[in-house]
Structures are given as structure tokens and as C-alpha cells.
Chains A and B, each alone.
Chain A
Amino acid sequence: MTLAVFFGCAFIAFGPAFALFVFTVAKDPLRVIILIAGAFFWLLSLLLSSLVWFIAVKASNSQDPSLPRGLLIFGVFFSVLLQEVFRFAYYRLLRKATEGLAAISDDASSAISVRQMAYVAGLGFGVMRGAFSMINILSDSLGPGTVGIFGDSQYYFITAALMTLALTLLHTFWGVLFFEGCEKSSWWVIAVVVSLHLLVAGLSLLNPLYEGSLPPVYCITLLMGIWAFFSSGGSLQNLSALCTRRKVEAESS
């Protein structure tokens, strides 16, 4: 009956990404292309960092017991920086391709804005990131066993799924903010995004102490969400307008 855990974790980890895809991306082929290409760029960054990791592990065959940990920390931070570099590269590519993309879309009115591109590209990064960190765990969640024989928390699967959920959303928000920063040449935004990414990656080094990493990551996600909302044109006025309009609608009906 560990099928329940499998589906539970799959829904938690990929439910929001799936919903976003269905309602905001799937209808427009251009967005689908950007999403897939974003995922591909993230994969490229991972490939490169795994290559570096591979070389580093091969190169350092000393017997120092603290070395694996040090190597891991180096690997994580290097990989984060590489991901952000590839995000920037993807931004440059999309920027260059805008005219081309506009040309292939059916009518000029559906041309995609940079903000939309940023959101879709971020989602692409997040989906791939989530898939990579979750697939193996999902396949093991099929059972028959569960984590814990070595004294680990038995909530491993659900926390891993929640972590993946947060990171998928975070990558989406970071995508929006990063591209915004690039557009406006406000480098501090980019710096904040990169440093927060580093922070989240650093928090994951606290595992298996999930209590230590989950709440801060969710706080950061929430803050990023709010920031991304405002930076992409949302405002309190709009929110309240929405609310009142709903109220009016409710009263009128």
C-alpha cells in the first residue's frame, strides 16, 4: 500500500507545477517551447556541474575524513552559481530571440512579453530541478520499505516532496525577479536572487534535520512570491479591487 505514498508525494511535489502548466502555459505553444528550453538550460548547467564534481572527486583522492563534506559544500555552491550563470545565458538568448519568436507566432497580438518569458523560463527551471531531485525518491517511495531503519525521520518522503514543491516555486519566482533585474539593469536584485539561492542550497546541507531547513525555505518562498507579485505589476490596490469586485458580484447575484 505504499502506492499511496507515491501518489501523495508526486501530487505534493508536482501538483502546483502541473496546475501552473495546465492553466498558464499549455495553451500557448510558444510558452511550451520556452518552458522546455528553460528546463534544457537547467539540465545543461547540471551536466556541467556534475562534470566538475566528477573531476573534483577524481582529483582529490586523499584520505582526509573531512574532505567529502568539504567537497560536497564546494559542489553545491558551485552548482548554484552555475545555475544562475545559465539563467543569465538563457535570458540573453531569449532577449536575442524575441523578434524571431514574435515572427513565428500566428498573430502579432499574442507576442510574449519579457515578464511572461521570465515566468515561463523560471517554471521550466523549477520543473526540471524538481524532477531531478524527486524522481529517485519517488521511485523508492513505491516501497515496500520506508526510511528509518538507521534512525532517520520517517517523514522523509513527505518532507522531500514539500522541499521540492518549495524549490519549484522558488525557481519560478527567482526567474521572474532575475529577468526583471536584468531588464532594469538593477544588479542588486540579481545579487539578492543569487545569494538567496545560495542560502537555500546551504540550508539543504542541514539535512537530515528537516525542521531546520523546511520553515526557512518556506519563509523565503513566501517572501519571494510577494516580491515577484509586486515586481511583475501586482499591487495591493489590484488585490483589494479584486476583492471588492467579487463582493459586488456576490451582492449583485
Chain B
Amino acid sequence: MENLISINCVQLLITALFYTCISCSSVEQKIYVELNKTAPCVRLLNATHQIGCQSSISGDTGVVHVLESESDLDWILSAGPHPPYMVIMETAFFNRSVMLSMKNSSRVAGVAVIISKAGLAEHFSPHTTCPNQNTGVYSAGSEFANCNGTVWNPLGNGLSYEDFTFPVFALKDENQTQVIRKCYEDHNLRVNGSAPQYPLCAMQLFSHMHAVTDTVTCMRRTDLQNKFSINPEILCDPLSDYNVWTSIRPLNNSARGHAENESVVIAAVRLDGRSFFWEEAPAAEGTVSAIVTLLAAIHALYPVIQEAPPLRNIFFTFFQGEAFDYIGSSRMVFDMERNQFVMDLDNVHSMLEIGQVGLRGGRDVWIHSDPVSRRNSSMEKQVSEMIKDVNSSAAGLNINLQEPSVSQPLPPSSFQRFLRVRPIPGLVLTDHEKAFNNRYYESMYDDAENLNVSYPPNLTPDEQLVYPTDAAKSLAEVATLVARSLYTQAGGEQNNLSNITADATMVSQLLYGFLVQKNNSWFRSLLPPEITKKGGSSILSSGPPQFYIGLGPRLQSPVHSVTLFVQYILANLTGNVTNLTESQCQNPKELSGENKDLYSYFWVSGPSSGNSSADPLCVRASVRLSKAVSPAFELLQYGSSDYSTWTESRWKSIRARIFLVASRELEMLTLGVGVAVLLLSLLVTYFISSKAELLFSSARETPTTTY
């Protein structure tokens, strides 16, 4: 008992001491304002290059200067007396010429970009003009190599593929931007063109990247460290996640290689996008338009398929990591070639891919095909047949189908990865003939607004969820086209076509979930309870999801949030509700009548009606995930030129803060006073202690004190 009390006392004492220490960190709070709502630009590496940004290991500090005009640029790059500068800029200045002039200057410590819609340029794409130019079907040597003939993204300025030696951050929060502005205006504003006086407002950005040079180097170093170091440190990780696929007739997931008696029409879209900043990729027109179209088409197809199944199987696949040299599709093709997938390339009858189909008011849909494989007469026959089918499917739809000239190559698409291996008849549907209509391709501005998804004011979230925007209506048309084309392509009866119509409300819900608010009632009803319960997971945070693929091992869930959403939406669209309990649902192996090889089982929250909480239920669907890791990392060919080699560097801390810096005069004054005090006190003490006998001699005590 006494022991217990003493232990408690010790604990109390320790907590008390600890408390003293916590409360004394208040000086730091007086000095620094942490900016926590930022997005960094991080370093990515491929077989030959490094791109992105990095700070020094202890962060880069510079005097804040807001770039508002050309004269500010001159002040930063040559005239200003307080280099290095931390440049705060509105998005209007965030372009190639400004950024490159900063890259070439040693007077810039870093850049912080204020992300706001105000003053947004007419177009902004930090991507290259020819996306994925070296890993498509038209690689070096081909007549169409390097977008020869058709430049797909002429607006691309290539900023995302530059290597910056200073940190670049995005400031996402309006309030924090105001704090920085105020600090700048209070301290750093030039008065009549003369330099401002100390103390000056400064900013420090931390984004030190561990990996350098290229993937080959960083993977080699990682492997070396794993072999020899006591404390191995991973320097970079391959970009990786999962593809999602499903088929109208379940494929045996435990089988590998050629599937007997299967002829499959593949319907494909890509799942990811990117932007200059890390995990800031809304990819609305670039990716979401296609995802939503295919999901709505699947939704439209399913009732008809139950009634009148077509001759061939339809295989729906959502490829992850396509923005980075086709990670997902190259892996699936690689697995098919090696007989490591549920089917092989002989099973593929044809392929239909949906590219950017934002439409945005227009009604032209372009049917792209590969001019190289069409030179073969039998292939030409099949492709023409497909085009004819698509054209016939468009009857009665408010869509204007067109074909580009026969000699025009395919736009960047997953289909190219299949064509690389063997000629397969296939088409790519997009809303552009040559250059992308998307003016903000692979940028943080490719958002709901860019896709014209906007709602009338005063709508509650639940009303917005089902509100049929114009974008939703036109995407529903495309989805109908896709669904009918697929049905025809799979050998379905022509007279069923009129029963296939995509639901505009479904499209609205999908658009709202992927572009505006992922934490909505519909998504919540589709997802597993452990994600939807309050405080359960950060996957359902507020706002739209982001589409940058990221790394394999994740904190919140084993897969990317978008992959997870698509997987569960597919399961709910195509699956059947079973009456299994939670434990049975999560482990249906032992149950008779259930087949784990053909189906996956999903435990989902279920729709909640009114105030009552939802009843979770078990959904059985043939929805599967397949790895989207580049084959280069399977084959350990880090310098591969055939496969994606993109890796993301690791880092320890990413943060930003602002504070004041003192003038050198004040610092030197402090040091001077300090040295003076030290010397003086040494001198005086020495003098007094040596004369102590004399000074204190009249003391009554015999031995002298020193004072």
C-alpha cells in the first residue's frame, strides 16, 4: 500500500515537472506562426531524372516578398538589399518564365504560391506538352514519336517536370494567407522605393528530400542500406496502388493465364491525375469525367445484362497511376503476358477506352483509333466495324460523333500499352480532336468549376448530391453511348439498346462525390462502417478526393481513397445484397453456396433513413483489385525505358512558418553587450576577490567573506 502511494507521488512529481516544461515553450509561440494548411512540391524520380523541389535539411529561410508586379520581380532578382527572398506569389505569376528566372537566381530561398481562383490565368497546365511520350505505343523511332503531328497538351509548360533547388509550397488557407500578407505589409513594405527597415518578416520552409539523382541511384542506396546498415533507411518508394476491375460474368480469380471460352471486351478508364503540388490533384476533366462516365454506363448496363446477357464478357477496368507512364495498365498487360492474371491477351476481343469527355457545353465526341495497326487489313476491318457499332449506338442521343483523320495517332491512353504488345482492335473516346479541350490539364485548377459542375445557391448538401447539373446531363449522354457501344460490341441484341440509358441522377451523385464532397450520404452508405463511423478514418474528410496515386503502404487504408471509392461503388452497382452476417461476410470461405474465387464480399454501411442509423449489409460482387506496381520494380530494372520507373522521395518533415528576423546591428549589439558584461564582471570580481581582505577587514569574524 505504501509502495503504491509512493509510486503515485513519483508519478505526480514527474507530471508536475513535465507540465512546467510544456508551459515554458511559450517563447516559441511568441516567435513563430506555423502555417499548417500548405501543400508542398515534393521530389519524384524516374530512371534518368529528378523532378520537384527540396529545401536544405534545416529548412530554407528568406525575407518575405510578395510578387505583385514586374518591379517586384526585379527587386527580388537583383535590386533588393535583403537576399535571399521568400517569394509569395499569386497564381497569376506562377508560370514558367517567372519560375525559371527564380530557379536561375541564387537570391530566392523558396516560393509560396497562394492558391486562389482570383486572377486565374486563362489556361495553366504544369504538365508536359506530350504526356507519357516515351512509354506509349509511339516510342522513339516511330513516325508519331514525341507527339509528332499532334501535340496533345500544347498549353503544358512543363513546370511539374522541372527540378527546383528551393522549396515551393502552396498556401491553401485564406486566413493564413492574410496573416502572411499582414506580416509583409507591416514590416517589409517598401516606403517610396527604399528598402524596408528591420525587423523584417521572414518565412521558413522545410521540405528536405532524401532521394537524389534518379530512381536507379535511390533504389541502389536503399538496397545497400538494407544490406549493411544497422538502421536501414528507405530513400524512395515506387508510386503504386491498385487497379479495380470487374466483369459482367465473374472470372475465376484463383485461375491464372488463359481463360477457356472467354472472349472479353475491355472497357477502360484511368483513375489518377497529378498536379505540381503533392496530393493536390482534383483531376476533374482529366480523370473524373471518364470515371463517372464508365461507372454510370455500368449502372445503365446491369439491368439489361441480367435480362439479356450479351455473347461476350465485358471487362471493366480502372487503371491507377496512368499519369506516371501508365503504371496500372502496363502492369496488367505484363501480368497477362506472364499468365499471372485471370485472363491473357488471347482472351481480349477488343477494347474501348474513355478519355477526357468533359464536353463542357459542346457535344462532339471523337473516336480515336490507332493508324499503325489499322494498316493491317483484318485489323482495319475490325476497327471499322467497331466505329460503325459506336455510331449506330449514338442514334437518338444528343451527341455529335466524329472521327479524326485516319493518319492521326492515339491520344495518351492505357490502350497504347496493350497495342505495344500486340495489335488489338480498339477505340478511345474523347471530347477533343487534336489538342485537349482541358485548359488546366494535370493542375490544381482542374476542379469542379473547370468541368462546369456548379450548383444554384441555397441547396443543402443532400439536394446538391442529386441536383442534375448540365455537366451531369451531358455526361449521362456519353455514358449511354458507352454502355450501348459496349453492349453491341459484346454481341448483345440490337433491340435491347433502347433499354440502356444512363441515369442523370447517378451521374450527379458521382460527380458530387468525386468533385465536391466525398463525405456525402450516398458515399457513406456505400462504404464499410469502419470508414464511415465518426472519427473512424481520415479517408472521408471534407472536400473532394485527390487523385495523385501516392505510395503503396498508406496510413489510413491499404488502398488509395479513390480506388476504394470506385471499388465500393462498383460493388454496390453490380453486386447482390446477401443475408450474411458480418463475420460470415468477412470470411465467407467456409460457407456452402458462396464462392470466394468468383466473388468478393463487401461489408457496407447501407443507406441511413432519416435519423435512424444505417443497418450494415453484405454485398457480393465480382469486383477485384489488382496490383498497380510498375513491372520495372518487379523485374528490378530501375533504369527501365519500357516501364514506369517513377518513385517518390521520402522526407522527415514538411512544414512552413513565418516570423520576424532581427537586424544584424541588434544581434551584434546583443553580442557586444554580452561580451562587455562578461569581461567587466571577470575584471571586477577578480579585483574584489583579490582585495577582499582589505575590503571586509573590519568584519568581526576572522576569515574574510568575499563580499
Contacts and interface: CB of A to CB of B under 8 A. Distances in A.
Query: Do chains A and B directly touch (beta carbons under 8 Å) in the complex?
Result: yes
A68 B460 CA distance: 42
A238 interface: yes
Given A145-B32, A229-B707, A238-B695, A8 B199 contact: no
B695 A242 contact: yes
A186 interface: no
A234 B674 contact: no
Contact of B16 (A51, A144, A157, A165): A51
Interface string B684-699: 1110010100111111
A163 B659 CA distance: 24
Contact of A136 (B13, B25, B32, B61): B25
A147 B671 CA distance: 17
Contacts of B658: 149
Contact of A241 (B199, B668, B681, B694): B694
Interface in B669-688: 669-675, 677-678, 681-682, 684-686
A15 interface: yes
Contacts of B691: 242
Given A24-B685, A145-B202, A154 B660 contact: yes
Contact of A9 (B204, B659, B670, B701): B670
Given A19-B678, A154-B662, 5 more contacts: A4-B671, A24-B685, A113-B705, A119-B706, A144-B61
Contact of B707 (A4, A109, A232, A237): A232
A174 to B, nearest CB: 13
Contacts of B666: 154-155
Contacts of A176: 707
A1 B12 contact: no
A98 interface: no
A19 B694 contact: no
B19 interface: yes
Contact of B701 (A18, A53, A113, A229): A113
B19 A54 contact: yes
Contacts of A115: 699, 701, 705, 707
A112 B706 CA distance: 11
A14 B59 CA distance: 31
B70 interface: no
Nearest to B27: A140
Contact of A4 (B16, B30, B204, B667): B667
A136 B27 contact: yes
A189 B661 CA distance: 46
Contacts of A154: 199, 660, 662, 666
Contacts of B686: 19, 23
A252 B706 CA distance: 28
Contacts of A11: 671, 674-675, 677-678
Contacts of B13: 47, 51
B183 interface: yes
For the complex of A and B, list the 10 residue pairs with the smallest distance between their C-beta atoms, beginning with the closest: A233-B699, A145-B659, A11-B674, A8-B670, A15-B678, A8-B674, A8-B671, A115-B705, A16-B681, A19-B681
Contacts of A155: 666
Nearest to A31: B706
A15 B671 CA distance: 12
A245 B674 CA distance: 32
B31 A116 contact: no
A201 interface: no
Interface string A162-178: 00010000000000100
Given A20-B685, A232-B705, A145 B661 contact: yes
B8 interface: no
Nearest to B662: A146
A193 interface: no
A137 B704 CA distance: 37
Contacts of B706: 24, 116, 119
B703 A111 contact: yes
A5 B20 contact: no
Nearest to A245: B694
A114 B703 CA distance: 10
A232 B668 contact: no
Contacts of A146: 31, 199, 659-662
B556 interface: no
A188 interface: no
Nearest to B670: A8
B677 A144 contact: no
B34 to A, nearest CB: 11
A16 B17 contact: no
B348 interface: no
B700 interface: yes
